Chain A
Amino acid sequence: MRIAIFFLITFAIARARAETFLIKNATVMTVSKGKIENGSVLVENGKIAAVGHDITAPAHGTVIDATGMFLTPGLIDCHSHTAIEGNVNEGSVSDAAMVNVKDVINPYDVNIYRALAGGLTVSNVLHGSANAIGGQTVVIKLRWGKDAEGMLFAGAVPGIKFALGENPKRQGYPRTIFSGPNARERRYPGTRLGVEDVIREDFTKAKIYQQEWAEYNARIARGENPIPPRRDLQLEPLVEVLEGKRYLHCHSYRSDELLMLMKLSDEIGFKIRTFQHALEAYKVAKEIAARHIGVSTFSDWWSYKIEVVDAIPYNAAICVRKGIVTSLNSDSDELQRHLNYEAAKTMRYGGLTEEEALSLVTLSPAKQLGIDKRVGSIDVGKDADLVLWNKYPLSNYSKAMQVWIDGTKYFDVADDLKARADVAAKKKVLLEKEKARQESDKKKAPSGPKNPKAPGEVL
């Protein structure tokens, strides 16, 4: 047999570029087509090339024996604020559509790596919820080590964040932290009524803006010499929403506000792609399902504020049962590290099947983000975004061992262990160097006035 087969101990594979490899003897949880015991997955050129039982090992490449282990698609988080440099909210205005999370992706945010180590491979990075109309959003792949450009999920439809309820109206309250000697100026809106008004008004403006450009282009075509309209970065994203070129992801909780936005979207003619959080989606599941809007919710958050008193951990299950494309999201640098544990909760709360539960953090969020042709399940032709787990991934005892994105390994427990020893050693050297620098700085003639303060003297 001239095939070079490297029966490596499962984790001892050095990080490599997108390579050809075969994972065999794993329990493959495809999410789309059930579970394959003792299954194999072949990866070539960053894509899943074959899935099944008896796949011939590649001529050139690695074979990973995953006996006793579980393989799932990379997990997908439809609501994250990881990797945003600076403030997550442009909270100063009630419509912050002009800002774009894509401008401030920080590929060095260590939370990317930490999430990767929990099996997460794709994040929908969103602006905060301080305004009725928030900033533009971006989908990233957690390609740790690449620059910001290298993180972007090429081809994913960009989004915009809207927010309903308490958060966007909070700056309009006459009391709370906005009173007293350090009073802050109040900002419209201060009620849910006003939130609706802001969205209505700004879509109205966006339509006028759309019209202005249409007229301008028509006049140019007629050979006239009009002054062009001023490009308005605040309105352009809304025009894109109207034209279906940008997804609308809306932070929301209560059923009344969910229904409000749905009715408003019917009236104005825009599409809502997902309701984010939507902890009362279960109350208006019928209306949501009828409009094919996705729901991306929490597993079991509740009681932290008044608009979530009716939040129930059964929300996801009801939405699934009512035919809504449903996902579980993290909204948290911590929670995104174990979305599989979150998914498992829906087996207790609402009795979802294993595949339904796993889909909440894989295929369903992929559908919500319009990237399900590329990721979200283990199917031939899809991106090789894969996670190898030591145990059944819906168990609270499971742990991600290796994670690939586009067929490139970005996390490996064994490499991580090695790297931490390395970093610790390097850090020790750097700390010693720093100490030496400080001492030599002290020894050299002190800068500044000739009577420097005695060391340790309080300035």
Chain B
Amino acid sequence: MIGLANAIRYAALSLLITAAYGDSLVIKNVHVHPVTAPDIENGQVLIVDGKIADVGKKVTGRGAKIIDGHGLDLYPGLINAATNIGLEEIGSLRDTVDLNEIGEFNPQLMARMSFNPSSSHIDVTRSAGVTSVLTLPGSGGGRPGPEATVFYGQGAVMRLDGWTWDDMTVKAGAVLDMNFPVIGNAPPKPFPEMEKEYRKKLDQIADFFENARRYQKAKAAANSDFKPDPRFEAMIPVLEGQRPVFVRAARERAIKEAVAFADRQKIKIIIAGPEEIGDTGPLLKARQIPVILGDTLALPLHDDSPYDSRYTLPNEFYKAGVKICFGTFDVQFARNVGFQAAAAVAFGLPYDAAVKGVTINAAEILGVDSQLGSIDKGKLADLILTDGDPLEAKTNIKMEFIDGKQVSLENRQTQLYEKYLNRP
């Protein structure tokens, strides 16, 4: 029983290489799952300066520290493409939540600069094999109706290890978090009236973009009188197509409207948290608009929807040729992102698409695929060593590396576990 309690510690200790293992490291005797290439049985990975220097049947790392993987599986670290980690500690305590700032247009707000590097969610999520996350400044909540928030601010890709938020930033300003307005989010009014309200809101957004463009032009032709404005400044990467807009759009109509909006504004968007596909598949495919899916394990939209209509949703987007990845849109269950992908497999999604949906596809959609998402030469060495499929709940994460550095799998929960398991 004690041995069981110490399973994690054992895994850590028996394989632990001291933090100061130098600049290069070889992980050998592992089943490598690069995700972007065929699996390598009994393979090896060379890590130099925190990056993957080589991967194959045999790598040469002169003077490198060696870790024996004992035939375990090596995967790229999982990516959760939608969370609020670092910005929310205890959901019901407003003082510990830094989401949904007041105001409709806040494109200048930056999630990463308020990311709490000591949040207990970081350790807990990391120990489940999630090595990086998109942290968002919004939660889709906030005020409904005409004063609903439009832009929450910028989300950042964060690695779940480091001393400061600065260390932990993989990509600042990765996305602009947007709450797409919906018709009829207000108390019941006749539909035409609500639609009018909605159109007005869209006009407001269009005006904001128009002003942002005027600002952009004025800045380009800048002289000494030019007055900078943080809000419009933050829109320039969006207008230039450098920063995709993370568009929260759940229903078919909202998705279509969001696509039309992106067409009009000529901006790059990601559809986030869709709850149905309707006939949006071809629209999204034609424009190569990717989708960040929320929980697969969710209730159907309508009483008479098929019981598995949310379970099959990932596969429906996949079949439509849309690039998908997974996010949990929360903090509490951020560690379970792999299980959400697995549930989609139970209901039709090809297994490879599920794995990619928590690794390389997430990296591509968030624009960090040059650094993350697969075991490929040149990428950051964010790796997990497991005793099986990382999407399965019964699988254990045995060892984990972020930027080539082995990270602790301990957290407050494992500490409490050991403490109380051994209570006399």
**A and B directly contacting (CB within 8 A):** yes
State the A residues within 8 Å of B (CB).
110-111, 113-114, 117, 282-283, 285-286, 300-306, 309-310, 312-314, 318, 321, 333-335, 337-338, 341, 344-345, 347-348, 350-351, 391, 394-399, 416, 420, 423, 427, 456, 458-459
Q: Does B66 contact A (CB under 8 A)?
A: no
| A-B residue pairs in contact (CB < 8 Å), sample of 16 | A111-B299, A114-B299, A282-B421, A300-B336, A302-B332, A303-B91, A304-B332, A312-B417, A318-B420, A341-B339, A348-B396, A394-B394, A397-B345, A420-B306, A423-B304, A459-B190
A321 to B5, CA, bound (A): 10
Which of A111, A117, A303, A344 contacts B393, CB < 8 Å? A344
Q: Does B298 contact A (CB under 8 A)?
A: yes
Q: Does B193 contact A (CB under 8 A)?
A: yes
**Shortest CB distance B25–A (Å):** 26
A337 to B420, CA, bound (A): 31
Chain A positions within 8 Å of B90 at CB level: 303-306, 309
Residue contact A110 to B345, C-beta cutoff 8 Å: no
Chain A positions within 8 Å of B298 at CB level: 334
Most-contacted residue by chain B among A313, A397, A427 (CB, 10 A): A397
**Shortest CB distance A306–B (Å):** 6
Residue contact A416 to B306, C-beta cutoff 8 Å: yes
Quick one: closest B residue to A351, CB to CB? Answer: B4
Residue contact B120 to A303, C-beta cutoff 8 Å: yes
**Shortest CB distance B421–A (Å):** 5
Q: Does B37 contact A (CB under 8 A)?
A: no
Residue contact B342 to A351, C-beta cutoff 8 Å: no
Chain A positions within 8 Å of B1 at CB level: 321
Which of A303, A321, A396 contacts B342, CB < 8 Å? A396
The SS class assigned to the B binding surface is: loop
A330 to B392, CA, bound (A): 19
Residue contact A304 to B4, C-beta cutoff 8 Å: no
Quick one: closest A residue to B93, CB to CB? Answer: A306
Q: Does B121 contact A (CB under 8 A)?
A: yes
Chain B interface size, under 10 / 10 to 19 / 20 to 34 / 35 or more: 35 or more
A456 to B196, CA, bound (A): 13
Quick one: closest B residue to A113, CB to CB? Answer: B307
Quick one: closest B residue to A398, CB to CB? Answer: B346
Q: Does B283 contact A (CB under 8 A)?
A: no
Residue contact A347 to B193, C-beta cutoff 8 Å: no
Residue contact A395 to B190, C-beta cutoff 8 Å: no
Residue contact A312 to B416, C-beta cutoff 8 Å: yes
A456 to B7, CA, bound (A): 69
A285 to B339, CA, bound (A): 29
Which of B89, B300, B304 contacts A303, CB < 8 Å? B89
Which of B333, B335, B393, B417 contacts A341, CB < 8 Å? B393
Quick one: closest B residue to A110, CB to CB? Answer: B303
Beyond A305-B91, A321-B4, 17 extra complex contacts between A and B, CB < 8 Å: A110-B303, A285-B423, A300-B335, A302-B413, A303-B331, A305-B93, A312-B413, A314-B417, A334-B299, A337-B307, A347-B394, A348-B393, A395-B394, A398-B346, A420-B306, A458-B193, A459-B190
Residue contact A321 to B339, C-beta cutoff 8 Å: no
A321 to B342, CA, bound (A): 29
Quick one: closest A residue to B196, CB to CB? Answer: A458
Chain A positions within 8 Å of B394 at CB level: 344, 347-348, 394-395
Which of B303, B391, B420 contacts A396, CB < 8 Å? B391
Interface string of B65-97 (1 = CB under 8 A from A): 000000000000000000000000111110000
A350 to B421, CA, bound (A): 10
A309 to B89, CA, bound (A): 9
A348 to B394, CA, bound (A): 5
Chain A positions within 8 Å of B300 at CB level: 114
Residue contact B306 to A396, C-beta cutoff 8 Å: no
Quick one: closest A residue to B348, CB to CB? Answer: A399
Residue contact A318 to B93, C-beta cutoff 8 Å: no
A286 to B396, CA, bound (A): 28
Residue contact B343 to A396, C-beta cutoff 8 Å: yes
Residue contact A395 to B332, C-beta cutoff 8 Å: no
Chain B positions within 8 Å of A282 at CB level: 416-417, 420-421
Given A314-B413, A399-B347, residue A303 in contact with residue B121 (CB < 8 A): yes
Residue contact A338 to B297, C-beta cutoff 8 Å: yes
Given A397-B345, A420-B306, residue A304 in contact with residue B92 (CB < 8 A): yes
Chain B positions within 8 Å of A285 at CB level: 420, 423
Chain B positions within 8 Å of A397 at CB level: 342, 345-346, 392
Q: Does B192 contact A (CB under 8 A)?
A: yes
**Shortest CB distance B293–A (Å):** 16
Chain A positions within 8 Å of B49 at CB level: none
Quick one: closest A residue to B338, CB to CB? Answer: A396
